[in-house]
Structure 1
């Protein structure tokens, strides 16, 4: 039997704009899949101040990630944490992660709002390899001074070892994006030391020639580092699920799957006939985080023709037996399941109304 789970982050429109946005969409294939699906779970609500977004928590729950929470939390201490992805991400980049506790670091831009600091979408930083290396080489001595091993991963992701910070609670950059960073800053073991080190890096980069060049080019200054994803080094073990198009920051999860495919299209997924597959469609994340709802509408229309229409046709032709839709926003998850049998319910007219709050 061929089954596909489809994770659609930010496919749920914001409640205050939902009816207006859905009125603009022409998505007959997605509307058919939604209308003829059974509801697996009601719309589950998550804490607005959670340290990972609903789609990040759902995706992480599908793989055997190591636990990374304080062993003996104090009364009232927040034990929820960002997914423990650092070591998985290191291995995906060909870096050794055989021992120790590691964190991911992203070069970032923090801007000053009226009375607080806000982390912007890290995708918009757009560092080249050469520019990232320049900032990395400048910051490395500061990490060496406090005996923190710093490792270069790629232009957007570095890694730091801190074995004594196993109680540090962090937040994903997307959960933090657009908000007052004070709420989502790391806390617990090592928080004060990290804040001091982060401040030193910020002061070093403030007048760095690279940032002067970027500002002259109209680009964002790279003025901070965002830390998250703390993970103890553990051996990875492949699972039975076949995964397609894991999103940035989560691509390391592919090592826990039977097979991981990147940059695949609908035809490739259908041809693979996964017994139990997982597909992530993430083009809606960036416009949703930045409130660019016209772009959100455009991306959904592209997904309709590139993905939902071919997948619906594959089900109708018997190439795919069933699929589940896991649709989220910043604080909710809606899960729906459709089979070849349920598609025969012709009396259920295509509609997107299940996406309404």
Structure 2
């Protein structure tokens, strides 16, 4: 088996603090893999690695997602309008996605109805096809560049506002809808229950993305977009396995396998240091240690370990490389560039 293992969140997102946050982590198997493999710093966004994994130029799932949800897509242009929570944190506005919230369909329908009433004259039509998946359509192309949601969660949204010719117009729309949602009775009810307000939507996903492809015969991931791309690429697809032992059962006989493990992603995005370190300890036990053993035993032909972020990297190993004992293990903290401007 040739295993490509994408672990978003493995590299701490804030480069200036990454080495300190990772200091003292006891991850001997991961350190051995990093020290004895061919290691390269490869900064990349989550969306960029997703596009590379499936042979796409851009990530643009809005139109197809709307069609799959049963909406009449012809004659309209489409964006995803992902409901979220915007939190002002010191000098930045941090975006949290629907993963931290419980949203009922009644709430989604009520909020979308108000958005439709407000933006009708602008030619925008919002749809809540499920509580956590919303769309917006328009008669003309958006004329702006939007940042994929996975690249913005936990980040300052001010650095990711719409750009391009119509960027200012869409930024104005965002301001208007946030003001509308902020004062909405449904959010008053949510806050009275101690739940985060649905006080923004994140717009993205327009354009044509083409037909996905994959060099792997099997793709295992929990991320809905990854599962959709794998199905469209015509390869075997399933949820991410519990551990490496489960992988060897699920993917028995497969030549190339692509696995995406996102257990460290949310703690990294929301800067939960304790949760992130705990997630890496679990990955060490369930994945890194048995992978290291499988490589040394020749049961795994090749490993490509990939993570995203400003300190993103790629490590490639074959069985023989694990026996190069003169190559010292490299801790995760030591991987981060000493020059924080990198």
Provide the TM-score with structure 2 as the length reference: 0.81
* Residue in structure 2 matched with residue 71 of structure 1 by the alignment: none
**Are residues 1:267 and 2:242 paired?**
no
Query: Closer, same or farther in 2 for the Cα pair 1:231/1:338, shift >3 Å?
Result: same
What do the CA deviations read for 1:131-188 (whole angstroms, capped 9, x no partner)? 3333234434445544334333433221222352253101133433455433321123
**1:281-320 matched pairs, under 5 angstroms:** 281-320=261-300
CA distance in 1, matches of 2:320, 2:75: 49
Shift of 1:20: 4.2
Query: Closer, same or farther in 2 for the Cα pair 1:4/1:304, shift >3 Å?
Result: same
Structure number with higher helix proportion: 2
Shift of 1:101: 3.4
CA distance in 1, matches of 2:86, 2:53: 32
Query: Closer, same or farther in 2 for the Cα pair 1:105/1:309, shift >3 Å?
Result: same
Query: Closer, same or farther in 2 for the Cα pair 1:186/1:20, shift >3 Å?
Result: closer
What do the CA deviations read for 1:286-333 (whole angstroms, capped 9, x no partner)? 22222221111101001112222233333344442111111333x233
* Residue in structure 1 matched with residue 4 of structure 2 by the alignment: 5
Shift of 1:97: 5.7
* Residue in structure 1 matched with residue 331 of structure 2 by the alignment: 352
8 Å CA contact retained: 1:238, 1:255: no
CA distance in 2, matches of 1:21, 1:180: 20
* Residue in structure 2 matched with residue 29 of structure 1 by the alignment: 29
Equivalent residue in structure 1 for 2:48, among 48, 57, 61: 57
**1:335-346 matched pairs, under 5 angstroms:** 335-346=314-325
Provide the TM-score with structure 1 as the length reference: 0.78
CA distance in 2, matches of 1:129, 1:33: 46
* Residue in structure 1 matched with residue 41 of structure 2 by the alignment: 43
Runs of 5+ consecutive residues of structure 2 not aligned to the other structure: 338-342
What do the CA deviations read for 1:259-291 (whole angstroms, capped 9, x no partner)? 222243233422214322221122222222222
SS class of match (1:348)? coil
**1:71-90 matched pairs, under 5 angstroms:** 83-90=59-66
- Aligned residues between the structures: 329
8 Å CA contact retained: 2:219, 2:258: yes
CA distance in 2, matches of 1:313, 1:93: 44
CA distance in 1, matches of 2:185, 2:335: 48
8 Å CA contact retained: 1:10, 1:288: yes
Query: Closer, same or farther in 2 for the Cα pair 1:190/1:162, shift >3 Å?
Result: farther
Shift of 1:118: 0.8
